[in-house]
């Protein structure tokens, strides 16, 4: 019987090739759409966490209240001992201090007067320790465009775009003008030893990266840090675990002092929680609508196929084949077509998604003035779900299409078949 069905499918292309192609294209698009949305969400979380929020962040309560303006006058003093405590209490988390600062980077001429200047968005991080986490978190080795990473006091990195704008060469001096933690004017000379490009517009416009010890000295922030960021070792954000750590830390530091530390999760910063929920909600709707539409198309294809075979089914019934048997073979056929189309469609969808995961699509021209910390290269992300999501429209819709179309078989009157076949 199976041999008979297989022969029928292979010999009649309109029963096999075209329905399989329809299923394959539908499944491929579903898999790709899912992986693409997954990639965009993942990239949004990863970029935000690496450059701004961490998976969790410790600040002084006063700083946390105004964290959008990075108020270093409200930074946490005693950061070293706090990091020691954090490492002891939450050893599974990587803790790293940072200082964000704004200011003006001024390039001198031969007389020591202003030749060029530009506002900068600065980041003081642990740059010097080669085994420290920041090089990996910010992917610094890959981000370097020219020169090298700083290794000595007074050395800095600036964004490649900023270096071009300022017309500065490697090895030149740049003066940072900013404010100290206590409000005084801060001025410090640095040597530019490298330029970087992160692929994130907000950083690439005017970033300056220096070792945190240099920034502490320049901004009079001895043993102080604006933020202490926490990351899971595998760089994957886990919401529930984060909330548990945040609750445990804040329970231990319940004080009224506005300079006592407080921990916030990634979700609780810069409205990221709402953004992620919205993202999840809309991508869920998008994927659902897509799956439903594809299911309807495939279902319709199943119906069309069954209607086209009206005469064949009539003949099979006329020569004595049982109605139930005809119905079951039709469903079996649809399952075979659905399965073949789904497997090929999933393979193609996953392949395209994987290609996009590795290569990405550059949307830099659309994000030139964006302030959001998101990569300008959009990548898909293949997950285990990518391999199974196509089975919903691929198998279910063809099966449903054949099942509904096949009901007509039971309505055919055997006594009238001969007359139907004559016409």
> Could you count the other beta carbons within 10 Å of the beta carbon of residue 71?
18
- CB-based burial of residue 118 (10 Å sphere; 0-12 exposed, 13-18 middle, 19+ buried)? middle
Q: In terms of Cα–Cα distance, which of 414, 320, 73, 397 is closest to 220? A: 73
> Could you count the other beta carbons within 10 Å of the beta carbon of residue 243?
14
- Contacts with other proteins by CB under 8 A lie at 62, 73-74, 104, 106, 108, 112-114, 117, 119, 175, 177, 179-185, 187-189, 220, 258-259
DSSP, collapsed to helix, strand or coil, labels residue 17 as: helix
Task: Report, in Å, the least distance between residue 190 CB and other proteins.
Answer: 10
Task: Report, in Å, the least distance between residue 368 CB and other proteins.
Answer: 19
Task: Report, in Å, the least distance between residue 69 CB and other proteins.
Answer: 10
Residue with smaller CB distance to other proteins, 73 or 126: 73
Residue with smaller CB distance to other proteins, 181 or 272: 181
In 173-288, the DSSP E strands lie at: 173-179, 185-196, 207-211, 224-225, 227-232, 261-265
Going by the DSSP 8-state scheme, the letter that residue 367 receives in this structure is: S
Residue with smaller CB distance to other proteins, 183 or 271: 183
Task: Report, in Å, the least distance between residue 147 CB and other proteins.
Answer: 22
Going by the DSSP 8-state scheme, the letter that residue 389 receives in this structure is: T
Task: Report, in Å, the least distance between residue 185 CB and other proteins.
Answer: 6
Sign of CA dihedral 384, 387, 388, 390: positive
Q: Which two tokens stand for residue 269?
A: 């910063």
Q: Which two tokens stand for residue 225?
A: 């840090």
Task: Report, in Å, the least distance between residue 157 CB and other proteins.
Answer: 19
Residue with smaller CB distance to other proteins, 146 or 217: 217
Going by the DSSP 8-state scheme, the letter that residue 68 receives in this structure is: G
Strands 227-232 and 261-265: unpaired
Strands 185-196 and 155-159: parallel
Q: In terms of Cα–Cα distance, which of 314, 239, 241 is closest to 272? A: 239
The answer to whether 295 touches 29, Cβ cutoff 8 Å, is no
Intra-chain end-to-end CA distance of the chain, in Å: 30
Task: Report, in Å, the least distance between residue 104 CB and other proteins.
Answer: 5
Cα 265 from Cα 151, distance rounded (Å): 32
Beta bridge partners of 262: 59
Residue with smaller CB distance to other proteins, 115 or 197: 115
């Amino acid at each position: 019987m199976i041999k008979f069905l297989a022969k029928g499918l292979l010999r009649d292309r309109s029963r096999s090739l075209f329905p399989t192609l329809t299923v394959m294209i539908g499944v491929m698009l579903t898999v790709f759409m899912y992986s693409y949305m997954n990639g965009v969400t993942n990239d949004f979380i990863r970029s935000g966490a690496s450059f701004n929020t961490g998976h969790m962040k410790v600040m002084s309560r006063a700083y946390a209240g105004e964290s959008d303006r990075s108020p270093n006058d409200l930074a946490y003093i005693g950061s070293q001992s706090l990091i020691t405590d954090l490492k002891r209490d939450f050893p599974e988390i990587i803790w790293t201090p940072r200082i964000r600062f704004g200011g003006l980077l001024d390039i001198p001429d031969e007389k020591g007067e202003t030749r060029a200047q530009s506002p900068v968005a600065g980041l003081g991080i642990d740059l010097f320790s080669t085994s420290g986490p920041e090089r990996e978190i910010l992917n610094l080795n890959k981000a370097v465009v020219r020169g090298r990473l700083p290794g000595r006091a007074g050395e800095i990195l600036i964004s490649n775009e900023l270096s071009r704008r300022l017309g500065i060469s490697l090895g030149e001096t740049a003066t940072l003008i900013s404010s100290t933690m206590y409000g005084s004017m801060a001025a410090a000379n640095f040597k530019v030893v490298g330029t970087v490009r992160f692929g994130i517009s907000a950083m690439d416009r005017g970033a300056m990266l220096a070792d945190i010890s240099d920034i502490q000295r320049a901004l009079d922030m001895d043993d102080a840090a604006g933020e202490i960021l926490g990351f899971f070792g595998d760089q994957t954000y886990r919401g529930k675990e984060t909330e548990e750590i945040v609750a445990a830390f804040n329970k231990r530091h319940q004080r009224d002092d506005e300079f006592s530390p407080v921990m916030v999760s990634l979700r609780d910063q810069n409205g990221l929680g709402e953004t992620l929920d919205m993202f999840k909600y809309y991508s869920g709707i998008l994927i659902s609508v897509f799956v439903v539409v594809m299911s309807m198309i495939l279902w319709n294809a199943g119906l069309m196929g069954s209607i086209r075979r009206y005469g064949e089914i009539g003949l099979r019934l006329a020569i004595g084949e049982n109605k139930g048997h005809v119905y079951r073979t039709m469903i079996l056929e649809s399952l075979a077509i659905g399965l073949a189309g789904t497997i090929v469609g999933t393979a193609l969808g996953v392949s395209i998604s994987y290609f996009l995961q590795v290569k990405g699509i550059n949307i830099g021209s659309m994000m030139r003035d964006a302030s959001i910390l998101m990569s300008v290269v959009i990548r898909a992300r293949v997950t285990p779900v990518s391999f199974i999501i196509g089975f919903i429209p691929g198998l279910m819709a063809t099966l449903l299409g054949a099942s509904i179309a096949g009901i007509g078989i039971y309505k055919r009157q055997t006594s009238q078949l001969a007359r139907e076949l004559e016409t």
